[in-house]
Amino acid sequence: MSSTTSSAAKGGLHFPSLDGIRAASFLVVFAAHAGLERFVPGGFGVTVFFFLSGYLITTLLRMEEDASGTVSLGQFYLRRALRILPPFYLVLGIAATAATVGLLPGGVGASALFAQMLHLANYWIVRHGYDGQPWGTGVYWSLAVEEHFYVVFPVFYLVLRGLVRERGRQAVILWALCAVVLAWRCWLVLAEHAAPDRTYVATDTRVDSILFGCALAVLGKPKLDGPSRSSAHTWKWVLLPASIGALILSFVFRNPSFRETFRYTIQGVALVPVFIAAMRYPTWAPFRMLNHRAISFLGVLSYPLYLVHHIVLNILAAPLGLGAVHACVAFVLSFALAWVIHEVVEKPCAQLRRRFATASVARTSNVVGEGQPLEARSQ
C-alpha cells in the first residue's frame, strides 16, 4: 500500500487510524507465524484485513459514483492490478525459485504454484492442503479471497445502487448476504462435517468478513454520512466495550463448531464499533498509538510485509532455530525487504495508477489513499 496521509489530507477526508489498524493486524499475524499461535489470534488479523478491504473498496466505489454519476470498471480493475499484482508475482516467483534451489524447505509443485498464480490458492488448499506450495506462501489463500471479491463486488455494487438508491436498504442487503454466508457455514460444519480448512480459507465461507466492511462504508461512514446519531460517550463507553467483550468471547470459546461458524460473524459485527470509534476519535488514548508515525509507516508497508514475512521466517528457522532471536531477525529482514519492494515496485506502480486515472477517480483515490489490499492472513 502506498502512504495515504499526505494525499488524503489534501483531499480533506483522510481517516486517521486506518494505517495503524493495518500495522496492528500485521503484527498479530506475524506473532502467530513466529511461534505464538497458541497465544495470539493470528486468524483475527485476517478478519480485520478483510473487513478493512471491504470498507476501503466500497468507499472508493461510492465516492466515485457520487462524484461522477458512474464508476469506471476498467479504471477500477486497472488500479487493482497495478496495486496488487506486481508485488504478488514478484514475491511468489522469488519463493518458488528459493524452493527449487533448496533455500526454502519442502520444494514446489507445479500444479500448486499454478493455482496460486491464478488466484485459486484457497481452493487448492481445500482439496490438497498446503502441499506443493513454496513454504511461506500459504498466506496467498487470503489474497485469492480478495481477488475474487475485487472481480465480483464492483459489478454487484453498481447493480445494487441502480436498483436500491437508499443507503439504509443497501446496508440491509449486505447484512443479509452476511447472514446467508453464516447459514452456509453452519450447513457445511453441522450437517456436512466439513474440515476446518473448508470454512477457514474458501471464498464462499469467508467473504462475509469483507461484506461487513462494505456495509459500514455504505451506511455509517464518518464524514461522508455526517455526525453520528450516537454520542461520543455511547461509542466510547458502551458500544466499544461491548464489541471488545464480544471479540474476547470469540477468542476464548474454543468449541470447533462455533469457531468455524459464528466466530467470523461475531468478529465482523464487533469490528463495526471498533472501526467507527478509531476513525471518529483518533486522539483518544486507546487509539492514539495507531496514529504514531512509525506505526502508520508500518501500515503503509503492510502488503509487502505480509507477502514476505512467512517466507523469511521459514528461511531463517533452520539456521537460527525458533525463538525470540529468530522472530526479531526475521522481522527486521522482512521490514527491509518490504521497504525495497515499496520503493522499487509499489511507488512506480502508484505513479502509473495516477497517470491512468480519470479526474473523478483521482479525487476519490486521494481521499482514502486507495489503500492496501488489506491482507494479513495467517496460514
Query: To the nearest whole percent, how much of the chain has pLDDT over 70?
Result: 87
- Give the per-residue pLDDT at 358: 57
Angle at 264 between CA 262 and CA 265, to 5 degrees: 65
pLDDT at 364 over 70: no
- Give the per-residue pLDDT at 374: 34
Exposure string for 210-229, b = 16+ CB within 10 A, e = fewer: bbbbbbbbbbbbbebeeeee
pLDDT at 3 over 50: no
pTM, 2 dp: 0.90
Confidence of residue 346 (pLDDT cuts 50, 70, 90): very high
Q: Which residue has the cell 458502551?
A: 238
What one-character-per-residue DSSP string does 132-187 give? Answer: TSPTT-TTHHHHHHHHHHHHHHHHHHHHHHHH---HHHHHHHHHHHHHHHHHHHHI
Confidence of residue 10 (pLDDT cuts 50, 70, 90): very low
Q: What are phi and psi of 76, to 5 degrees?
A: -60, -50
**Residue 19 burial (C-beta neighbours within 10 Å; 0-12, 13-18, 19+):** buried
Helix axes 42-68, 140-163, angle to 10 degrees: 30
pLDDT at 367 over 60: no
Please state, rounded to an integer, the average pLDDT across all residues of the chain: 88
**Residue 154 burial (C-beta neighbours within 10 Å; 0-12, 13-18, 19+):** buried
d(CA 36, CA 38): 5
Contact, 320 vs 326, CB < 8 A?
Answer: yes
pLDDT at 1 over 50: no
pLDDT at 357 over 80: no
Please give the C-alpha separations between residue 52 and each of 58, 238, 302, 320, 322, in angstroms, as whole numbers: 10, 23, 13, 35, 31
Contact, 63 vs 364, CB < 8 A?
Answer: yes
Summarize pLDDT for 228-263 with one digit per residue, the tens. 667 888 999 999 999 999 999 999 999 999 999 999
Answer left, alpha or beta for residue 104, where phi above 0 means left and psi between -120 and 50 means alpha. Answer: beta
Summarize pLDDT for 92-122 with one digit per residue, the tens. 999 999 999 988 888 899 999 999 999 999 9
pLDDT at 333 over 60: yes
pLDDT at 375 over 50: no
- Pick 150 or 227 by higher pLDDT: 150
What one-character-per-residue DSSP string does 271-296 give? Answer: HHHHHHHHHH-TTSHHHHGGGSHHHH
The cell for 265 is 460473524
pLDDT at 376 over 60: no
pLDDT at 352 over 90: no
Contact, 364 vs 67, CB < 8 A?
Answer: yes
Q: Which of 8-12, 92-96, 104-108, 186-190 has the lowest mean pLDDT?
A: 8-12
Q: Which of 179-188, 347-356, 370-379 has the lowest mean pLDDT?
A: 370-379
Q: Which amino acid is at 354?
A: R
Q: What are phi and psi of 376, to 5 degrees?
A: -110, 105
- Give the per-residue pLDDT at 59: 92
Q: Which helix (H) or strand (E) holds 215?
A: helix 203-218
Query: To the nearest whole percent, how much of the chain has pLDDT over 90?
Result: 75
pLDDT at 337 over 50: yes
Confidence of residue 356 (pLDDT cuts 50, 70, 90): confident
> At a CB cut-off of 8 Å and minimum separation 6, what does 73 contact?
154, 155, 158
Summarize pLDDT for 205-223 with one digit per residue, the tens. 999 999 999 999 998 666 5
Contact, 374 vs 56, CB < 8 A?
Answer: yes
Q: Which amino acid is at 311?
A: I
d(CA 341, CA 339): 5
